[in-house]
Structure 1
C-alpha cells in the first residue's frame, strides 16, 4: 500500500456532527479511531483514510444504523468543501457542477477516482476506488452519492431525481432509507458506483449560476491541487512566497536564494514550466486573496499585510484588477452567495 489517501478534516467533521446529533460521544469515538485531539478543528487539515474508515465502522456499530452515511450527508454544506463548494454552487449547469467535481475532487479526497461520461441520452457519474488505496467505508460512499443528489435538488428543486443509482455495497436488510433518499431505480452489489442523469436536465442553464465567482474559486482550487501533487519549481516558488509574503513582497533574487539557486537558474526552471516569477507571484497573491476573503475574521488590512503589499490601497488596486471588484464589494458578494447556499 503506497501513499495512503487522505480526506479534508471538514468532511470527517460532518460525521462527528451526526454522532453528536444522535446523542453519541463523538469525541470518544474519534479518539478510538485514532484521530488526534483537535484534528477536526483545522479547516485545512487532512485525515488518513484508514482513520476515517475506522471511525465510520465505530459510528455504525455505536448507532446501530447501516444508513448512517445517508443521514450524515445532511450535515454537509458547500462550505464543507471549501473553495470547491463555492465553485460548485456558482456553476451554471449540472454538467459544470460535475465537471468541476471531477477536476478538483482530490482537494477534498484522493481516495477515489471520478469520471463523468457523456452517453447518447444521459450522463454517467462514476466513482471508484483509487488503485493501491484503501477502500472507503460503504457508508462514506453512501454519503458521497447522497450529497451530489442533494446538490442537484438544491439547484433544480426538491422533486429532482437521477435516472438510476448503482452502488457496489451489498444490499442492506432494509433498503427503504436508500430508496427514500435517491427516489430512483436502485441497484446494490453493482459492478461499480454510478449515478445516471438525464441529458437535458444536466445541460440546462441554471438561473443562479455565477461564472465569475466560480472562476475565482477555481484559482484557489488550482493552487490547492498543485500543493497536493508532486513538487515542481513552480510549486516550490509558491510555497516560498506564501512563507515570505507577510514580510513584504519578496524579490526573485530572494526566492532564488531561499531555493539555493542562482537567479538565472530560477528563471530558466520557471520558463521550462511555461511561467515566470512575476506571473507566479501575481497568481499566488490572487489565489491567497480569494482564500482569505472566505475567512470572515481576516480583515482587508490584514490581507494586504499577509500578501506583502505596502498598503491597503495597493492591495485594493490589485484585487480590482483580478476580479473587477474592490475587496469590500467582493466580500459582500460572498455574503450574498452564502445566504443562497
Structure 2
C-alpha cells in the first residue's frame, strides 16, 4: 500500500507555524529522514508518518502542547496548493469550502472533509487518518485553526462560528483555544468540526472572480486526476459513476471492465485501504449531494441515477448518510 502523503504547500505552512514557536525544523526533518529543501518544490510531497513524527518531536522540543494553533497566524493561499486560489476566487465561502472538500486530497491524503447543512447553518467536519502511525491530535487542531483563519481572511470581517468541536478531551489550559477560535468550544465531541451560520458562508466575497474560479477549478481537477492516475480506488470510483445509471454495479462487472479477477480487485482495493462496497456507498453519497444541487432533477430521477432499484432504498440510504431526508437537504441548499 502506498503511504499517504502531504503536499509541500501544507508541509511548509506547518513548518512556518513550528518555527514561529522556536522549533528547529531543519534538524527535525533530518532526524525523520525528510528533505527540508524540498519544501520549496511545489510538486514535492511528504509522507504522512513523517509529518506525524514532526508534530510529536516539535511538541517535545518546544514544550508547547498548543503549538499547532500557530497555524492560524501563517495563512496564505499557496498553503492549500491550487485549491487555495480556487477558494479565494469563489463567490462565497460556501462555494469555496465545497471546493476545499472536493480537492482535499491534493493538500493531504490523510484528511477527510465534509460540509453539510444543519438546522441553523453549515457544519464542516474534519477527520485525520493515520498511516502506519496514529494521527497526531495537533494535526487536526492546527487544521481547524488554519481553515477558520483563512475564512476570516477571505471574509475581511469578524467571523464567529456557532461552535468549534474537538474529538479529544479538554486541555488543562483552554485559554489559547479561546483566543484563537473566539467561539464556543466543545471538547470530547467525538469529532472535529466548525459550525458556521448560514449567512456567514453565503455572503459574497470581495475576492470573487468567476473566470478565475473556473480556471482554478479546472487546474485542481486536472492535478487531482494526474495525482490519482493509476490508483485502483480512483479508477473504480470513475467506473462506478458511469455504471450507476444502469443499476447497482456488481463487483464482478467492475472487475471484468478493469480486466482483472474479483479476487485481484478486492486485494488491490484492500491494499489502498478500502473495499468495493465502501467505495460504492461513498460514491453514491457524493453524487447524491451533487445531484440535489440541480433543481431540475426530481428525487425519483436522482434515485435512478444512483442505481437504486426503488426510491425508498435511496431515501433510507440518504438518511443514513446525512441524517436527514433528501427534501430537507435540498430545502437547506
Same fold (TM over 0.5): yes
Q: Aligned partners of 2:94 and 2:14: how far apart in 1?
A: 28
Corresponding residue of 2:10: 11
Corresponding residue of 1:285: none
- Say whether residues 1:216 and 2:215 are aligned partners: yes
Q: Aligned partners of 1:204 and 1:19: how far apart in 2?
A: 33
1:214-254: CA deviations, max 9, x gaps? 1101111111111222429xx99xxxxxxxxxxxxxxxxxx
Corresponding residue of 1:166: 165
Corresponding residue of 2:41: 42
- Say whether residues 1:75 and 2:77 are aligned partners: no
Corresponding residue of 2:97: 98
Q: Aligned partners of 1:75 and 1:132: how far apart in 2?
A: 26
Superposition CA RMSD, Å: 2.3
Q: Which runs of 5+ in 1 are unaligned?
A: 237-268, 270-341
Q: Give yes or no for contact 2:20–2:70 (8 Å, CA) kept in 1.
A: no
Q: Aligned partners of 1:212 and 1:177: how far apart in 2?
A: 40
In structure 2, the CA distance between the partners of 1:131 and 1:19, relative to structure 1 (3 Å rule), is closer
Q: Aligned partners of 1:106 and 1:133: how far apart in 2?
A: 18
Q: Give yes or no for contact 2:7–2:108 (8 Å, CA) kept in 1.
A: yes
* TM-score, normalising length: structure 2: 0.65
Q: Aligned partners of 1:211 and 1:21: how far apart in 2?
A: 35
Larger Rg: 1
How far off is 1:131 after superposition? Answer: 8.6
Q: Aligned partners of 2:78 and 2:155: how far apart in 1?
A: 19
**Secondary structure of the residue that 2:38 maps to in structure 1?**
coil
**Secondary structure of the residue that 2:126 maps to in structure 1?**
strand
**Secondary structure of the residue that 2:220 maps to in structure 1?**
helix
How far off is 1:192 after superposition? Answer: 0.9
- Say whether residues 1:113 and 2:112 are aligned partners: yes
Q: Aligned partners of 1:50 and 1:26: how far apart in 2?
A: 16
Q: Which runs of 5+ in 2 are unaligned?
A: 236-257, 259-333
How far off is 1:18 after superposition? Answer: 3.1
* TM-score, normalising length: structure 1: 0.64
How far off is 1:174 after superposition? Answer: 0.6
**Secondary structure of the residue that 2:3 maps to in structure 1?**
coil
Corresponding residue of 2:224: 225
Deviation larger for 167-176 or 29-38: 29-38
How far off is 1:156 after superposition? Answer: 2.5
Spell out structure 1 runs of 4+ moving beyond 6 A.
Answer: none
Match runs of 1:25-40 below 5 Å: 25-40=24-39
The count of aligned residue pairs is 234
